[in-house]
Amino acid sequence: MKTMISMAMATIAALCLSFNASARHGDGDKFKSEKIAFITTELNLTPAEAEKFWPVYNQLSQEKKDALKTVIDAYKALEKAVKDKASDAEINKLTRAYLDANNAFLAVDGKYLNDFAKVLPAEKVAKLYLSEEKFRRQQIHRLGKVQKYQPKGDKKAPYKKPGRPAPKDATEAATE
């Protein structure tokens, strides 16, 4: 059970990072285009396969987006209840709702397995799931490189290129 919860948390955290990264930089369309190009290349889709595949994939993506929103809402409600020192009964109820939302999110992919099998050969269906994971990891790696040079806790801080000293702020300059 702990392993399943840990996996769910890791998956959700990774998805949140990738969604937030693209939303924060205002390039959600760029992110989506990169993902489409990546999956198309990895799966080596023929035009006939692509015509049948993308409507199913877009439906899956929308359902995953909706399920992720439910998870995030459940998380926020649970976090608020803990912060506000709600009753044990309320916290238990919200914990169950959060775990149920996580399970529903994780189940979305499984719901579409048969739909993909109807439009793609088994090898390409497997490559779809592998390529999504590969793309997710690339995005996390890319995001990690950018955030590595940002001061912690300061989301508005300018990007600092490696090898260059950080600019001095007014308080540091005044004390020297």
Give pLDDT tens digits for 91-149: 999 999 999 999 999 999 999 999 999 999 999 999 999 999 999 999 888 887 766 65
Percentage of the chain exceeding pLDDT 70: 67
Helix-then-strand count for the chain, H and E: 6, 0
Residues 6+ apart with CB under 8 A from 76: none
Query: Per residue in 79-104, is it b (16+ CB within 10 Å) or e — as a string?
Result: eebeeeebeeeeeeebeebbbebbeb
Separation between Cα atoms, residue 124 and residue 33, nearest integer Å = 20
State if pTM tops 0.75: no
Question: How many other CB atoms are there within 10 angstroms of residue 160's CB atom?
Answer: 14
Alpha-helical (H) ranges within 25-46 are 28-43
Percentage of the chain surpassing pLDDT 90? 55
For residue 113 the two structure tokens come to 């397995």
Cα–Cα distance list, 123 to 58, 115, 130, 131 (Å): 20, 14, 10, 12
Element of type H or E holding 1: none
* Euclidean distance between CA atoms 26 and 33, whole angstroms: 13
Max CA pair span of the chain? 70
